A and B are shown apart, each in its own frame.
Chain A
């Protein structure tokens, strides 16, 4: 199990303090560590202050990474022989700096010593004061999440992704190259554990997305949209550039054909179906919605297709994802301020509108709209509705002509928001990996969890943890059945574990003797107990009216052996016919005790064995650590060099900035709705000290233009300002896009 850490001290000048580490949850779970696979690498946010949205970056990068087709495509794009690539067969290598873990996890945060404390404070806040003051610090308590995270800081090689190597891909530095570097590093790294710091990715991402440039808590769904959008636009921009180059190189005849090809793709793009280069992104995430609008005046029905990369669905109390999806396709009346412009009758008319899915995506990302804007508080409120989600899903709301309308989906990733509202909180993710089952990714901590754990986030459990984004991927019935048969034994283990939990405690109470048992059958409140103790020495006095049974209880409460208990108990019974029964009972009791003792012994033995294994594992881990240290020392020099070179690379990246005007043409054609736009804007103006009026104005206009869907995409493409794109079709209630 490995982790990748996002360095969130990304601001220039704070570069040094990398807080990274590794940890091996596998070992903690007392399993023999299997051989290393690069897939174990995981993203991790070692940076303690996560208000800048890096933890939601982390959860999403994880989710994306485990979206197998997406990962493979990212890794194989661009194809390794673009004209510009210097050497054929040269495998681009990511600039990875391996750092040694310092002896003290906190020391790494030298520049920002407060940050850990801040993080903990935040966590405490989330957990609403679970740690009373004066107790052990949460990070010192073994097995607490904080402790595990600290351990992760202290161990393992650290992969620091401080620089990009876009040159190797023949592309300018952009979010895509950043993401690709992360994935590459994860795949290339041979160690099973480690922390990766995608510092540069975050930097680029922030450069390109101004709203992430503050230190506010960011929305995970929004981030997902932005990353995907960036990837699409980056790849497209690159494709166009390549085409241009080829066009330049080509002679007359060729030019025309390329141009027409380009033209074709552009028209395609405006249809929202396909585009050069990024076909794979669309192939994976993109589906097509058909919205049917029926004008109530002239009864004509108009249809329009739009693509989507995820679905934002409204939630209802006590509902299921299935029904929320159906609600999404329910008919909607367009009336009053929201009238429909009918081309047929010419003018705003009342209309009925419904949206169905025409083409199902391979990966279905469902954004549960847990944050609702409330006018009363003029802020976002989190909905703690109980929304159940099944492990498998089919879509009911497909059009009649949809291809394979019964497509089966399986849940493979859940992004969870923990916290009371939209402005604070913490993101974690639970992801199903191919080879290791379900894993919980919580910052530095990675823990294997069982399948049923996924169901803890319906929204009704205490702790304010709710599923926020669900990822379903397509699968087949046969695969599901095969998997169910394979996981059968695991299922059995889980259920017996659950049952055992109750049994073990029962055994314990048996062990402590009937004192407890008796107390259970006839509970005594503490005050009463005290009173009885006082009575105790007077118990010999025959005239005392107190119940002899109770006295015996208090006597036993201390340390009397269990057999005595049953004796005293039987004393209170009439002796006649009960004596035989009593003997039998005693014998049975004894037999049971013996059995229990044996069981305990066996358990003890098993535990010792496991401990031994664990020790073994720790030793090897220590060796690994030492090796990593040596390696890192060697690398230290190189690192120095690299740092000196950094300014140079920085300057080379500036053309990239200029190139931004190229980007995003494709994505513009997508129906984009600032689904967070309004509230975001409000938030920006409220929370960020100096609001940037021009940017805001720009945003508003974008929003407006988004409101009229027929606007040609190319005009938007020339916007200099970085627009926000959402693939959300969550603007069903167009008045309140976010809710």
Chain B
């Protein structure tokens, strides 16, 4: 086995290298990031995307104190810890103009759907900017959270005064976590390596530069992508045993001197970390609230303190970063909530603890139990009203999280769902899963719009490209276990009139006609059809059906990709569109940046 670099003796990398050269120190399995510039490109309708660079984020070796898990018996039945490839979030401190698509969408009258029922729709662009899609380059509003709650969607937990964040006098002075990370003696954190020039780097960097946060196995890295030496992390944290599965940066509280990052771990624990001051707080310590791994974690849009964690036992838990943990006893909630425990999860969500609960002195703030199946991902709608949750059992749930109500439940063609995202206008939801398909859903119509077929393995991430979306046409990208990046152009109108459409639209959508039924799709998407193995709509004809059956393949338009590109050697696990590039990451930690076509950036 290997040992970690001995920091006290060789305070700088140069000194250590010298020592290795002189034979004083043992060379290590190197875990430094490597920046390389392999040549690659791909051609889409709008031009050529060129691979700008490949930043290899080092996967840390297992901790030395950990017994090597090298069990040569391939049949060993030991449980394996949950891991999630490389997840990255990008954040800029500058309040930059949001993607152009948002503006266009605001003015459009075609905005629809469930969103349109709500007043204040005209504030959508505002909302969109608040989207706490942590990966989001979406920018937040600088004038603080108080104004945020005034926009269309009511703030989460409104009406429960106990949840109102304590007003801080100075908005620039944010509350920091309690413990010092560098001086920590927690057994949870193995090692914190801070770039020696971090303060200088932070001063020198351009104001609109992009920070990247990345979790790779038991490591968590903070990088400055605007720096010329971007391979050098600003901070790297190594955890002892737990793997960080997901993280998110709060877009409301971010500022030049403050960033709120939450990380969810394979042990169920959560860390709130403030990178500028290197302070942290542990939440759900030793799993007192929930013992199962956190598959995804997100700040609640517009909230300073509240974030939502998806635990793998099928529970969504809202935490407050500043509250203490307490062992949660669901019985205490019973009398007031009067929600009789439901055994059947498919019809509703079980509110184990409501946000309206009077007991809000400690964490958890709220617990919603969706099912007993693992939740793989969730996403907040751009208008901050809805939540789309996908699970390992192949269900997509649209939840009105402000009212803690399940609105609809859809099912995958087969297999589990892995990823989910909303279109920038909130009309559509994309899911990717183990059926190798991306499904386009329209929650307002409670229907599946199309299935996108093109990946050769499971789809691990989907994202819209807001710079190439307008009122009618949507561009999105997806990556999968097949190492491929696919780009798709989707236009609802086109799907209904496939033949004409295939010629027109940007010359890129070509719809393959799946069968004779194509013309029927518009009607059938709403009416429920039965096929032998497809579902009964069932639910005993409640007045409000929320569970929708699987539509047979022949009824649903099939969308082919406009581009398929093997983007890496290893299975991909993340994709993100920025103003001038597409970024992908793979399981082994390669963060690749594909520059957009040069002529396109101007438009």
* Contact of B240 with A497 in the complex, beta carbons under 8 Å: no
User: B275-289 CB contact bits vs A (8 Å, 1 = yes)?
Assistant: 000000000001100
Contact with B along A440-461 (1 / 0, CB 8 A): 1010000101100100100001
Report which of A323, A393, A477, A506 forms a contact with B242, defined as CB distance below 8 A.
A506
B344 touches A316 (CB 8 A): no
Cβ contact of B77, chosen from A447, A462, A464, A525, cutoff 8 A: A447
Quick check: is B298 within 8 A (CB to CB) of the other chain?
Answer: no
B260 within 8 A of A: no
**Smallest Cβ distance from A110 to chain B, in angstroms?**
29
CB of A496 within 8 A of chain B?
A: yes
At the interface, yes or no: A196 with Cβ under 8 Å from chain B?
A: no
Separation of A481 and B393 alpha carbons in the complex (Å): 8
Stretch at the interface among A222-230, A401-409, A717-725: A401-409
In the docked arrangement, what's the CA distance between A530 and B80, Å? 35
A320 close to B79 (CB less than 8 A): no
Q: Is A108 an interface residue (CB 8 A)?
A: no
Indicate whether A523 sits within 8 Å of B483 (C-beta atoms), given known contacts A323-B436, A393-B414, A517-B185: no
Is A394 on the interface with B (CB-CB < 8 A)?
yes
Q: How long is the Cα–Cα vector from A339 to B534 in the complex, in angstroms?
A: 41
Interface presence of B32 (CB below 8 A) = no
Interface bits B56-82 vs A (CB < 8 Å: 1, else 0): 000000011110001011110101111
A476 at the interface (CB under 8 A from B): yes
A658 within 8 A of B: no
- Cβ-based interface call for B515 (8 A): yes
**Contact of B554 with A by CB under 8 A:** yes
Is A381 on the interface with B (CB-CB < 8 A)?
no
For the complex, give the distance between the alpha carbons of A447 and B80 in Å.
17
Q: Residue B482 at the A interface, CB < 8 A?
A: yes
Any B CB within 8 A of the CB of A484: yes
Query: How many interface residues does chain B have, given as a range?
Result: 35 or more
CB pair A488–B373 under 8 Å, yes or no, is yes
Residues of chain B within 8 A of A484, CB atoms compared: 371, 373, 393
Q: Is the CB of A130 within 8 A of B79?
A: no
Contacts known (A491-B372, A520-B187); A394 close to B553, Cβ less than 8 A:
yes
Q: Which residue of B lies closest to A461 (CB)?
A: B74
> Is B402 at the interface (CB under 8 A from chain A)?
no
User: Which residues from A are CB-within-8-Å of B185?
Assistant: 514, 517-518, 521, 565-566, 569
* Chain B residue nearest to A391 in the complex (CB): B415
Given A406-B553, A521-B190, A523-B3, also A505-B66 (CB < 8 A): yes
| Cα A145 to Cα B78 with chains together (Å) | 13
Taking A449-B77, A521-B184 as contacts, is the C-beta distance between A481 and B313 under 8 angstroms? no
Please determine whether B413 and A528 come into contact, CB atoms closer than 8 angstroms.
Answer: no
Q: How far is the CA of A364 from the CA of B554 in the complex (A)?
A: 22
Given A323-B482, A404-B533, CB of A502 within 8 Å of CB of B550 = no
Complex: how many Å from CA A456 to CA B80? 10
Q: Is there a chain A Cβ closer than 8 Å to B314's Cβ?
A: yes
**Structural contact, B292 and A477, CB atoms closer than 8 A:** no
Q: CA of A318 to CA of B535 in the docked complex: distance in angstroms? A: 31
Q: Does A392 contact B (CB under 8 A)?
A: yes
List of B residues within 8 angstroms of A523 by Cβ: 3-4, 6, 64, 191
Chain B residue nearest to A547 in the complex (CB) = B8
Asked if A145 meets B75 with Cβ closer than 8 Å, knowing A320-B458, A528-B6, the reply is: yes
A322 beta carbon closer than 8 Å to chain B:
yes
Q: Contact at A492–B314, with CB atoms within 8 Å?
A: yes
Instruction: Provide the residues of chain B in CB contact with A404, threshold 8 Å.
Output: 531-533
Partner of A406, one of B344, B394, B481, B531: B531
A547 to B7, CA, bound (A): 13
Are A503 and B267 in contact, CB atoms less than 8 angstroms apart? yes
B296 CB → nearest A CB, Å: 14
Does A641 have its Cβ within 8 Å of any Cβ on chain B? no
The verdict on A390 contacting B435 (CB below 8 Å), with A145-B75, A319-B482, A406-B534 known, is yes
State A450–B535 Cα separation when bound (angstroms): 27
User: B458 contacts which chain A residues (CB < 8 A)?
Assistant: 320, 388, 390
Query: Which residues of chain A in 485-512 are interfacial with respect to chain B, using CB atoms and an 8 Å cutoff?
Result: 485, 487-489, 491-492, 494-503, 505-507, 509-510
Q: Point out the residues of chain B lying under 8 angstroms from A566, CB to CB.
A: 185
Question: By the criterion CB–CB under 8 Å, are A407 and B457 in contact?
Answer: no
Task: Find the B residue at minimum CB distance from A524.
Answer: B6
Q: How far is the CA of A518 from the CA of B374 in the complex (A)?
A: 35
For A518-540 the 0/1 string (1 means CB < 8 A from B) is 11111111101000000000000
Is A550 interfacial (CB-CB < 8 Å)?
yes
Give the most central of B187, B286, B415, B549: most A CB within 10 Å: B187
From residue A532, how far is it (CB to closest CB) to chain B in Å? 11
Cα–Cα distance between A565 and B549 once the two chains are bound (Å)? 61
Contact flags B562-588 to A (C-beta < 8 A → 1, else 0) = 000000000100000000000000000
Mark out the residues of chain A between 388 and 443 whose CB falls within 8 Å of any chain B CB in the assembled complex: 388, 390-394, 396, 400, 404-408, 418, 428, 440, 442
Q: In this assembly, does B291 line the interface, its C-beta being within 8 Å of a C-beta of chain A?
A: yes
Identity of the chain B residue whose Cβ is nearest the Cβ of A409 in the assembled complex: B414
Count: A-B pairs, CB below 8 Å: 241
Do A388 and B457 touch across chains, with their CB atoms under 8 A apart? Answer: yes
For A477, the chain B residues whose CB sits under 8 A away are 411, 533-535, 549-550
A128, B72: Cβ atoms under 8 Å? Answer: yes
Q: Please tell me if A243 contacts chain B, counting CB pairs below 8 Å.
A: no
Instruction: Establish whether residues B552 and A522, one from each chain, have CB atoms under 8 Å apart when the complex forms.
Output: no
Query: Once the chains bind, are B6 and A318 in contact (CB under 8 Å)?
Result: no
Which residues does chain B contribute within 8 Å of A474, judged by CB atoms? 533
Q: Does B169 contact A (CB under 8 A)?
A: no
The smallest beta-carbon distance between B69 and chain A, in angstroms, is 10
Is A516 interfacial (CB-CB < 8 Å)?
yes
Partner of A520, one of B65, B372, B453: B65
Cβ-based interface call for A103 (8 A) = no
- Cβ-neighbour of A503 out of B26, B192, B287, B416 (below 8 A): B287
**A393 surroundings in chain B (CB, below 8 A):** 414-415
Q: Given A392-B415, A528-B6, is A496 in contact with B534 using a C-beta cutoff of 8 Å?
A: no
Taking CB atoms and an 8 Å cut-off, the chain B residues in 17-71 that contact chain A are 25-26, 63-66, 70
Q: Which residues of B contact A524 (CB under 8 A)?
A: 6
From A318, A450, A519, B457 is in contact (CB under 8 Å) with: A318
Hey, which chain B residues are within 8 Å of A323, CB to CB? 436, 455-457, 482
Is A506's CB under 8 angstroms from B241's CB?
yes
Instruction: Decide yes or no whether A15 CB sits under 8 A from chain B.
Output: no
Whether B312 is near chain A, meaning CB under 8 Å from some CB there, is yes
Report Cα–Cα, A509/B8, bound state, in Å.
23
Of all chain B residues, the one with the shortest Cβ separation from A445 is B75
A509: which of B65, B268, B515 is its contact (CB, 8 Å)?
B65
Interfacial chain B residues near A488, Cβ < 8 Å: 314, 345, 371-373
Beta-carbon contact of B187 and A517 below 8 Å: yes
Give A372-396 interface residues, CB cut-off 8 Å to B.
386, 388, 390-394, 396
* Chain B residues closer than 8 Å to A408, beta-carbon distance: 414, 533
Is the C-beta of A127 less than 8 angstroms from some C-beta in chain B? Answer: yes
Answer whether residue A182 sits at the interface, using C-beta atoms and an 8 A cutoff. no
Is A392 a contact partner of B414 (Cβ separation < 8 A)?
Answer: yes
Known contacts A396-B553, A509-B240, A428 near B75 by CB under 8 Å? yes
- A35 CB-CB contact with B under 8 Å: no
Taking Cβ atoms with an 8 Å cutoff, the residues of B that contact A are 3-4, 6-9, 25-26, 63-66, 70, 72-75, 77, 79-82, 184-192, 240-243, 266-268, 286-287, 291-293, 312-314, 344-346, 371-374, 393-394, 411, 413-416, 434-436, 453, 455-458, 481-483, 515-516, 531-536, 549-550, 552-554, 571
Q: Enumerate chain A interface residues (CB-CB to B < 8 A).
A: 127-128, 130, 144-145, 316, 318-320, 322-323, 386, 388, 390-394, 396, 400, 404-408, 418, 428, 440, 442, 447, 449-450, 453, 456, 461-465, 474-478, 481, 484-485, 487-489, 491-492, 494-503, 505-507, 509-510, 514, 516-526, 528, 547, 550, 565-566, 569, 595
9 A-B contacts, Cβ less than 8 Å apart? A318-B571, A484-B371, A485-B344, A488-B371, A491-B372, A498-B292, A503-B267, A522-B191, A523-B64
CB-CB nearest 7 A-B residue pairs = A488-B372, A463-B74, A465-B74, A390-B415, A130-B72, A323-B456, A495-B312
